[in-house]
């Protein structure tokens, strides 16, 4: 049933689907999340530092601008990540409900902004392969910059509304955080189904198209393609596609199950934490020269 547009969770046989959330299980999940986020923070910062050195010499193409947006999304998320690490290390939240919602929302902003950047990069590379990139006006640097600014403005303006719509205006008085599942409204459930389906579908299609491009290049040039710049660029694109498949698709598949089985909150948080491993995607830009620079 619902009241005031908010979904009220009623006990059912589904409540035992993920087992009992005992204090011992809660502690185990906290340790898992703490480990994942600590690895992401340390490795993510390292990747960003090395990547900025590489991008400093890159041309200002649409792909480069998309990568810069991706780097900025990683940076914003990594800034908020210590708060999550603090919470799972201490076991309680004492920093206020507003900051809790802001930190909680940032992981979703990071996920969807990363997804948009991946799609832009992959579509651009596919158009380049099919010799149609010159027909795309957005390929120009000015248009790309304006588009990037527009996207970030939309995120900043729309985000507070989305948080309120999804989680409501409920103020918690306890010391827990990142536990808004029971406050999800009916409209937000539909939004979760739609967004999840889109991300899964787009990820699968783009991965298939990118794999087909590499197969075509290999059939045309054989083993000599491994030394070609075009093949290397398309291989990096496949890496981005695989990041979407490995990091984003499992979470959204489980998310569709979770929103009707809210006792799976802790498992959902683990799947969500695995999406942040995409902060390591910048490793695709780090070549031999970068690693030699690290040892100077």
Domains plus CATH for the chain? 22-294 (1.20.1070.10)
**Hunting for tokens 């979904």 — which residue is that?**
7
Residues with pLDDT less than 50, the chain? 1-15, 137, 288-296
Query: Closest by alpha carbon to 97, among 8, 34, 168?
Result: 168
Residue 161 is predicted with a pLDDT of: 67
Residue 250 is predicted with a pLDDT of: 96
Residue 25 is predicted with a pLDDT of: 76
Residue 130 is predicted with a pLDDT of: 77
Q: Are 166 and 185 in contact (CB under 8 A)?
A: yes
Instruction: Please report, for residues 11, 49, 290, 292, the alpha-carbon distance to residue 296 in angstroms, rounded to integers and kept in the order given.
Output: 61, 15, 10, 7
Instruction: Please report, for residues 22, 88, 265, 271, the alpha-carbon distance to residue 19 in angstroms, rounded to integers and kept in the order given.
Output: 9, 21, 11, 17
Give the pTM.
0.82
Q: CA 199, 44, 62, 128 torsion: positive or negative?
A: negative
Residue 184 is predicted with a pLDDT of: 65
Residue 293 is predicted with a pLDDT of: 39
């Amino acid at each position: 049933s619902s009241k005031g547009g908010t979904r009220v969770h009623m006990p059912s046989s589904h409540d035992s689907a993920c087992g009992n959330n005992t204090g011992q299980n809660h502690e185990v999940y906290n340790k898992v999340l703490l480990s994942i986020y600590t690895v992401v923070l340390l490795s993510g910062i390292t990747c960003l530092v090395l990547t900025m050195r590489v991008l400093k010499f890159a041309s200002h193409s649409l792909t480069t601008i998309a990568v810069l947006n991706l780097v900025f999304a990683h940076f914003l998320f990594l800034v908020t990540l210590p708060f999550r690490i603090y919470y799972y290390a201490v076991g309680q939240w004492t920093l206020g409900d507003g900051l809790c919602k802001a930190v909680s929302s940032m992981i979703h902003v990071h996920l969807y902004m990363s997804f948009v950047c991946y799609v832009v990069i992959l579509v651009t590379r596919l158009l380049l392969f099919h010799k149609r990139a010159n027909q795309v006006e957005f390929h120009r640097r000015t248009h790309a910059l304006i588009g990037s600014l527009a996207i970030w403005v939309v995120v900043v303006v729309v985000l507070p509304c989305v948080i309120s719509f999804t989680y409501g205006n409920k103020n918690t008085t306890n010391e827990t955080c990142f536990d808004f599942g029971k406050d999800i409204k009916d409209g937000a459930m539909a939004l979760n189904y739609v967004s999840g389906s889109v991300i899964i579908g787009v990820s699968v299609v783009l991965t298939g198209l990118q794999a087909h491009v590499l197969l075509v290049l290999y059939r045309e040039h054989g083993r000599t393609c491994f030394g070609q710049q075009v093949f290397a660029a398309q291989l990096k694109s496949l890496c981005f596609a695989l990041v979407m498949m490995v990091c984003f698709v499992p979470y959204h598949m489980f998310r569709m199950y979770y929103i009707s089985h809210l006792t799976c909150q802790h498992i959902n948080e683990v799947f969500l934490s695995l999406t942040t491993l995409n902060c390591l995607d910048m490793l695709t830009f780090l070549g031999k020269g970068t690693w030699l620079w690290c040892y100077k």
